[in-house]
Structure 1
Amino acid sequence: MPPPESVRRPRAVLATVGFSALLALSAYADPALLAMTVGLVGLVLAWGWHDLLRAPVPTVPRLITGALAVAGPAVVALTPDEPYLRWEPVVVAAGLLAILLHQLVRTDGRPRLTESLAIGVGALAVLTCGVPLVPLVRMYGGPDVLAATAAAVALACLADLLVGRRRLHAWTLPVAMLLGGWAATAAAFVTGTPRIGQALLLGFLVGGVSHAMRRLLAPLAPMAWARSQLAAASASLLVVGVVVNVLARVLLTR
């Protein structure tokens, strides 16, 4: 493994725990506040993502990503009835057009064009994955599912602290999945929703996906910066949104 892969990133762990706690609290407080929380986490991603991946011209893409981070949750929160995500494809299409238009108006000769496009589209993909968290609060048992999700992501990130131990390095993903499963089960035991087996499955998947995102970004040299670690933490929370939404819609109707 690359040497940076074995370096602990405590700021990323603390930020992941903090973002997860904020998600759980806002889920019980108000749907609008949940949308604001998802938007805030997206803004953190926009702040550090392009530096983390060393975008050739980060300023304008950062602004585009920030606008998309706010637009997605806002559109879903303002949609009054099912399907709540029906206008999200419009936001995604507008984001893609903005990313492409920026490349057309660049005046620096467009160095690393493909890489710049990939970085921008990658940020859009992560933000889009996080948007399905917003409508969950309007479902029966949705806040409890979000609480189980937040607990799973928060506890699973502690597996990141094992990367400095060579013998345990290869086991961080299974450990993250186990921790996520235990945390989601404990949260479900307290709240009563979802059922224990459902919460265990949710925790396994959410813990594994969030950990995989942080491990994917860990070898990058800019991960030594605090801004990049915050971006990695926000990405690891947002990326689980689709998984949680699908599981909630399938499991809570059984």
Structure 2
Amino acid sequence: MNLSTRAVASACAAAAIAGGAYLGAVPLLVVLGALVVLFAAGWAPLLGLPVPGGTFFVVVLPGLGALAAAQVTQSEPWLANLPLVVAMGVLLAFINELLRGDGRERLVESLVGGVSGMVVAVSAAGWISAYKTDDGMSLVVLSAVSLAAASAASAARLHGWLTLVATIVGSVVVAIAVALVMPDLAWLDGLWTGLVAGALIGSLQLLFDKLPELRRPRAALAAIVLPVAVGGILVYVVGRILVG
């Protein structure tokens, strides 16, 4: 799957989050759950890990558990249960390695790969936590639209750092425009959101640009969803600092 196709797919994933947030908490949860499953299905093929079946469960179970934990949390701190989910995920990763019957070749690579994928999947819960903050719906929609704009801009066939610059500029312009039409937000909110989204999408596109595993559709799934999932925790943390 080429860069342009992946960029458009990432834009669609981010747009789905924006649509889910606009419709309500339950649609947002459903969208995020589907994205976590897609990411988990592609993570092991993306890294070429030796036990893709076990790694899938190491990634998907904590990811879905984090979404559920964030959804049922009724008061601040909204991420209070996430450390427990991460701890259980690490334990699950060790159990997965203990149950291997292939001689445990590339043990460290498999363990670290599973844990890193789990952390990315758990990060998606940040979208739900951000949604529960003051002006949360506007914040989530703005951030998701910014990611979609950044992904679309990164599809331009430029070279090297020009792609990163174009991605950031495109994301900032769209984010400021969206913030100006939302009564709960100011243009500065659009500025920081666009900068974070553009930097995230642009840097990951540069990282994955020449990765040969992305020719495989399942591996491409993880690369498509990864920036959107990681964006969840960034939106929550930066949003709490700058928006409140």
Report what 2:4 is aligned to.
Answer: 10
Report what 1:53 is aligned to.
Answer: 47
* Matched AA of 1:33: P
Report what 2:85 is aligned to.
Answer: 91
Aligned partner of residue 171 in structure 1, secondary structure: helix
* Matched AA of 1:205: V
Between Structure 1 and Structure 2, how many residues are aligned? 244
Aligned partner of residue 124 in structure 2, secondary structure: helix
Correspondence list, 1:190-209, <5 A? 190-209=181-200
Report what 1:146 is aligned to.
Answer: 140
Preserved CA contact (<8 Å) 1:157 1:176: yes
Which stretches in structure 1 are left out of the alignment for 5+ residues? Answer: 1-6
Aligned partner of residue 189 in structure 2, secondary structure: helix
Report what 1:37 is aligned to.
Answer: 31
1:70-128 per-position Cα deviation (integer Å, ceiling 9, x unaligned):
11111110111111211111111010000011112212111111111121011012113
* Matched AA of 1:144: S
CA RMSD for the aligned pairs? 1.7
Q: TM-score, normalised by structure 1?
A: 0.90
Which stretches in structure 2 are left out of the alignment for 5+ residues? Answer: none
1:15-53 per-position Cα deviation (integer Å, ceiling 9, x unaligned):
211111110111122212222222211111001111111
Amino-acid identity (%): 27
Q: Which moved more, 1:43-52 or 1:7-16?
A: 7-16
CA distance in 1, matches of 2:142, 2:243: 13
Q: 22, 32, 37: which one pairs with 1:28?
A: 22
1:132-176 per-position Cα deviation (integer Å, ceiling 9, x unaligned):
11122222211111111111111111343335x4xx322111211
Report what 1:4 is aligned to.
Answer: none
Correspondence list, 1:210-221, <5 A? 210-221=201-212
* Matched AA of 2:139: V
Q: 49, 69, 76: which one pairs with 1:75?
A: 69
